[in-house]
Amino acid sequence: MAGTSSSVSKTAIRKQRGPLNALVAKRMRELNLPNVVSFAEHAGLSDTAMYEILNGRVVKGVLIMPKWQSITKLAKALAVPTHELLYLLDPEAPGANAVIDAHQVPVYIAGHVGAGPEQLVETDDKVYVEKQFASSRDLIAFHVRGDSMAGGKHPIYNGDIVIVDQKVGGELNFPVVARLKGDGYVVKRLRPGNILDSTNPEFIDSDTALIAPDRVAHVVGRVVRVIANMT
């Protein structure tokens, strides 16, 4: 694949990041690797090659595809078939939909959490999850804005994507997405008494660090997966 290219918009490139980032993040957790650089070393890839695979490399508006040797190494490190990565990198390739549909299902991104009112907008943005993971769940996803949850054992950072199960109204000490009365959506930790709080001890905004139950219109559901932003 060296030297091959595809004319792809920046929006399309951003849409491609989710599936690969999710696979890499999951594998990093399994291997207990702290960052992308350590995963690149595990995979036998240079830092540059790893970041280009995750983020895409655009030259004059044209997406340059990674070398096939790099994709093969990444597939071995992820323990997934190489062709699945190829199709995730190039969703327009013949046969891509059949392969993705056989193993994964889309979860649509409804909007942002932590960004104030008017956060839900019509969009075609989506991320893919395994069919087994989605089974018996009612999933919806949100982009995260802000670092109020960037603390604790499972931090959620600005730019991450949270996937929420709408069938689970909430679980104490776990993050949830909630709609506030007249003030958009937030991702917070559910505490006793239905209080919502932030896990980042450095986040001290008096209006949103701690949210009383009477300000909550509806708890959308519990966060069941976080897709890390590796840019």
Which 3 state secondary structure label does DSSP give 158? coil
Taking the model in full, what pTM does it have? 0.60
3-state secondary structure of 106: strand
What pLDDT is stored for residue 162 in this prediction? 92
What pLDDT, on the 0 to 100 scale, is given for residue 221? 94
Contact 141, 107 (CB under 8 A): yes
2: pLDDT strictly greater than 50? no
Binning pLDDT at 50, 70 and 90, where does residue 206 land?
confident
Model pLDDT, residue 230: 62
CATH number of 105-227: 2.10.109.10
Average pLDDT, the chain: 80
Top mean pLDDT of 23-37, 146-160, 163-177 is at: 163-177
> What is the average pLDDT across 91-115?
72
pLDDT of residue 192: 92
Q: Where are the domains of the chain?
A: 5-93, 105-227
Interval 62-78 mean pLDDT: 83
pLDDT computed for residue 96 by the predictor: 62
Residue 5, pLDDT score: 41
- 216, burial (CB in 10 Å: exposed 0-12, middle 13-18, buried 19+): buried
Q: Cβ contacts of residue 39 below 8 Å, gap of 6+? A: 24, 27, 28, 31, 33, 50, 77
CA 97 to chain CA mean position, Å: 20
Predicted confidence band of residue 129 (pLDDT cuts 50, 70, 90)? confident
Query: How far is it, in rounded angstroms, from Cα 98 to Cα 107?
Result: 17
Asked whether the domain spanning 105-227 has the same topology as the one spanning 5-93, the reply is no
CA–CA separation, 107 vs 125, rounded Å? 9
For residue 101, give the 3-state DSSP assignment. helix
CATH architecture of 5-93: Orthogonal Bundle (1.10)
Q: Judge residue 52's burial from the number of C-beta atoms within 10 Å of its C-beta, 0-12 exposed, 13-18 middle, 19 or more buried.
A: middle
Contact 188, 196 (CB under 8 A): yes
Q: Across residues 115-120, what is the average pLDDT?
A: 57
